[in-house]
Amino acid sequence: MGFVGGALSALLSAGVFFADQELKQASEEERLPRQGEKTNARLSFSNHHNYGAALNFLEKRPLIVRSLALSMTVFCTVLFLFTFGKKGAGFLKAALAFLLGGAYSNLYDRLKQEYVIDYIALRLPGEGINLAGRGNIKELIFNIADLGVAIGAMLLAFT
């Protein structure tokens, strides 16, 4: 089951990558339905070019963001390759598959066009989240790749 589990994890990773890339292209081509600011919807589609990391962190330092993204993706890829043929590491493989699918999709964007396309907008209730030095964040804009990275990181925390 070791190799089969590794192959299934690789398929999961590819699925996250290709689903995200398709939705990014649909967003750029305005094929996603936009609800935008004129509705009270908590969740809607958007189109945002993120030059930084999460919440536009380091957006003025794209080389640092690309370098960190590349080095972390390479590290996780090596870790995934070491687990590929192992039996009994299914949870770890699944965590790394989610993480790498998202990481490769966002890294591809960063290397190809120097920004990541985010297309899901989530309005936060009330005053939003207060981040020191950045004020209140009232909306989170992200993509499927970001969800893959978050799911993978949470699963890794439980491994």
pLDDT tens for residues 111-136? 999 899 999 988 877 766 666 666 66
DSSP 42: S
pLDDT of residue 1: 45
pLDDT at 112: 93
On the question of pLDDT at 58 being above 80, the answer is no
Q: Give the SS3 label for residue 135.
A: strand
Task: Return the pLDDT at 140.
Answer: 83
In whole angstroms, give the CA distance from residue 100 to residue 77: 7
pLDDT, tens digit, 9 for 90 and up, residues 14-45: 999 999 999 999 999 988 876 555 556 788 88
Q: 3-state SS string over 83-111?
A: HCCCCCCHHHHHHHHHHHHHHHHHHHHHH
Q: Residues 77-110: pLDDT tens digits?
A: 998 888 877 787 888 889 999 999 999 999 999 9
Contact of 142 with 86, CB cutoff 8 Å: no
Residue 4 has a pLDDT of: 47
Give the model's pLDDT for residue 32: 81
Checking if the pLDDT of 156 tops 80, the result is yes
More confident residue, 57 or 51: 51
Q: Of the candidates 155, 135, 151, which has an alpha carbon nearest to the alpha carbon of residue 56?
A: 135
User: Bridge partners of 50?
Assistant: 116
